[in-house]
A and B are shown apart, each in its own frame.
Chain A
Amino acid sequence: MTRMTGADAIIRSLEAEGVDVCFGVPGGMIIDTYDALYRAQANGSKLRHVLARHEQGAGHMAEGYARASGKVGVAIATSGPGATNLITAIADAWMDSTPLVCITGQVPSTKIGTDAFQETNATGITLPIVKHSWLVQKASEIPATIKAAFHVAQTGRSGPVLVDITKDAQIAELDFKYPDHVDLPGWNPPRKVNHRQIMAAAKAILEADKPIFYVGGGIINGEASAELLELAELTNIPVVTTLTGKGGFPESHPLYVGVPGMHGMKYSNLALNRADLVIAVGTRFDDRVTGNVSAFAPNAKVIHFEVDAAEIGKIREAQIPICAPLQPALVRLLAELRKQMSEGREGPTDWLDKIAAWKEEFPLRYELGDMLKPQQVLEAVRDVTEGLGDVVWTTGVGQHQMWAMQYLVCDRPRSFITSGGLGTMGFGIPAAVGAKAARPDATVICIDGDGCFQMTSKELTTATLHGLPIIVVLIRNGYLGMVRQWQEMFYGERYSQTDLTGPIPDYAKMAEAFGAVAMTVTNAGELDAALERALAENAAGRSVLVDAVCDPQEKVFPMIPAGASAADTIEYGSHEKAKEVEAR
């Protein structure tokens, strides 16, 4: 046991958890912890801190770090506005099940409840968006609380937790000993796999004529991608992945059938909706995937593998629910299938033929025009990075995100990091910075929108100053494009407050001001050279902006309008055609 301050104990606890980098912004109520960090670093501590330019950025960086590495992300902020600025990132992590430990300073315990300077009730404000939170008012409680925080963040369905620590607890002394065990009698995420259910699942899988794996972000959080691949190959069952599950199954694999949902490929939606058995894995039947729930996969029996019991049966009844950690559950399913399967089983060949025909019939499609098309840019980035060893993609939220989902090919888990559940504009750049901190040898590329860029581009400064160089490919369409698309299609072309165009900002100059190399591209001829140069500059340690000026009118298709079903898919060109007919 060593005598030290609470602030020192926070740093020592992070070290004990194996944290190598954390993200944050200091302030009055966390200054003691930053002082402890300074002293620890001066004494050779390997704990690195990345100074974000906004706490929201720090939070998204921690998310990007967590999702690129599989470890818990750590964000630190001061009380009051520091804590409130973190909230968007906490909510984002909550929706996408990203393991995060957020540490906030709090006013001294004697002042709590008085509306003291920079006091907000951080545990109260975040209550609905954390797995758990702790208000720590005694230095002696710090080590056990941080131990518990890390444990809760990453066990069961992962997600964010908050530890709010008063200033007096950071200043007071304690005898430090990091505990070996957590004492959380009420925290019992599922650990076992019910064998009878596995037997039933295997039987249903072997009996099905039109089975499909419907795989969500849980496959990545649950580190079960390898088992999924083995399962799909063993049974010859096709796979769709959701937006957050993208990369959880190799996308160049013949059994891969794309991403279903509102802007998913038509063949993915057809396959999922016509299936007679949906094997849902680590997914929650989100409305952006199901559309009209009563019309979703109407003839399918459902097997639902999910670590969070509260997700099973929430939206869609599961005939075979399997509440367990995914990796061991899929291992058991593999073993059981091998036992039940006859030699030389071919798998559902008719079904696979049908899906292949759909793929052929309904490819993603767009038309070239006078201006650059966003899809063109995405295809060019995809192709230019094809041979690269390790690429991590992040995105903002909007049309560009959907095109990134449609056109990028991710063969590995943790290579596509996007804000799925919350749909947080501005997520991409800070998440990329965090991902780069986690995987310094990877090429990290953020596909961003011009609206998103204006929300969080300042974190390019962080990237430059902290040696975390990223590439930003900006789909500059001059609009809050996704909203514009809805206005065009469903709101009589009344473009209320979505026009971003004008002489400013000069995106290239902005990026340069943040220390990045910037290139503006306006036609296809310049695209490849610019991207090649971006990769070269990035490899040499620079952040780069590729500012691609794109057609503002381009819309994302296919599209299933909100609340509709796959049968109502609007395909590329059909909207324009309908308009022409109307005009005649």
Chain B
Amino acid sequence: MKHTLSVLVEDKPGALSRISNLFARRGYNIESLAVGQTEREGVSRITLRVDCAEHSLEQITKQIHKLVNVLRITELTPDDAVEREIALFTVAAPPERRGELMAFADHYGARVSDLGPQEIVFEMVGHPEDLDSFEELVRPYGIKEMVRTGRIGLSRAVRH
């Protein structure tokens, strides 16, 4: 099962390796990882996505919680969280196929961020699953290079 964890940490050297070590020691691969500032100075948010067994996840979460530099850890579940990711795709785009590609991009809200005679660099911000769909769609055209930031997420806005 895939899980998204959101970890608030003090900005201290080693904080990230202490966390990633708890996955690595069990042979789990971290699928995506995003680290950045938060509203609080000196505090960063790490959002990471891993594929691991439920029981291990509970154990790892508790162990992360115990780390001295970790302030809080929560699991982001699809229903309760807003999740986003950015991706850049360099897609082979000979003139005769551009029209189709542009139509897909339009449908998915991807933008052209650079353009050459034989390729287009698309930029897309969205839900990670939408990024996956777009990727699938343009793959047959030839994705020459691709980069994704890794998902980030926050709990949904309070409604009441």
Contact = CB atoms under 8 A, between A and B. Distances in A.
A184 B10 CA distance: 9
B140 interface: no
Interface stretch (A251-259, A305-313, A354-362, A477-485): A305-313
Contact of B18 (A127, A152, A184, A314): A127
Interface string A149-171: 00010001000000000000000
Interface string B7-39: 001100110011001000100000000000000
Nearest to B65: A309
Interface residues of B, number: 19
A309 B58 CA distance: 11
Interface stretch (B67-75, B114-122, B146-154): B67-75
A310 B63 CA distance: 6
Contacts of B14: 123, 127, 133, 135
Contacts of A131: 66, 68
A186 B67 contact: yes
Contacts of B139: none
B77 interface: no
Given A128-B25, A135-B13, A186-B10, A152 B68 contact: yes
Contacts of A310: 59, 62-63, 65-66
Contact of A185 (B13, B17, B58, B71): B71
Contacts of B18: 127
Contacts of A314: 59
Contacts of B10: 185-186
Interface string A180-200: 000011110000000000000
Contacts of A132: 67-69
A186 B68 contact: yes
A186 B69 contact: yes
B71 A186 contact: yes
A230 to B, nearest CB: 30
Contacts of A185: 10, 71
A135 B68 CA distance: 14
B68 A309 contact: no
A136 to B, nearest CB: 11
B17 A187 contact: no
B154 to A, nearest CB: 20
A186 B9 contact: yes
Interface in A288-335: 308-310, 313-314
Contacts of B71: 185-186
Interface string B113-132: 00000000000000000000
A207 B62 CA distance: 31
A123, A152, A156, A186, most chain B CB atoms within 10 A: A186
Given A128-B25, A185-B71, A186-B71, A309 B66 contact: yes
A515 B66 CA distance: 46
Interface in B67-114: 67-71
A43 to B, nearest CB: 34
Interface string A112-142: 0000000000011001100111010000000
Nearest to A311: B62
Most buried by B among A184, A310, A313: A310
A127 B18 CA distance: 7
A133 B67 CA distance: 11
Contacts of B63: 310
Contact of A187 (B13, B58, B62, B68): B68
A284 to B, nearest CB: 12
Nearest to A152: B68
B21 A128 contact: yes
Contacts of A127: 14, 17-18, 21
B59 A186 contact: no
A310 B21 CA distance: 16
A15 to B, nearest CB: 24
A418 B62 CA distance: 28
A309 B62 contact: yes
A505 B10 CA distance: 54
Interface in B35-60: 58-59
Nearest to A157: B66
A524 B68 CA distance: 54
A185 B43 CA distance: 11
A215 B107 CA distance: 63
A339 B58 CA distance: 35
A320 B21 CA distance: 30
A155 B17 CA distance: 23
B62 to A, nearest CB: 4
29 contacts: A123-B14, A124-B17, A127-B14, A127-B18, A127-B21, A128-B21, A128-B25, A131-B66, A131-B68, A132-B67, A132-B68, A133-B14, A135-B13, A135-B14, A152-B68, A156-B66, A184-B68, A186-B9, A186-B10, A186-B69, A186-B71, A309-B65, A309-B66, A310-B59, A310-B63, A310-B65, A310-B66, A313-B58, A314-B59
Given A123-B14, A124-B17, A309-B66, 15 more contacts: A127-B18, A127-B21, A128-B21, A131-B66, A131-B68, A132-B68, A132-B69, A135-B13, A186-B10, A186-B67, A186-B68, A186-B69, A309-B65, A310-B65, A310-B66
List of 3 A-B pairs having minimum Cβ-Cβ separation, nearest first: A310-B62, A132-B68, A186-B71
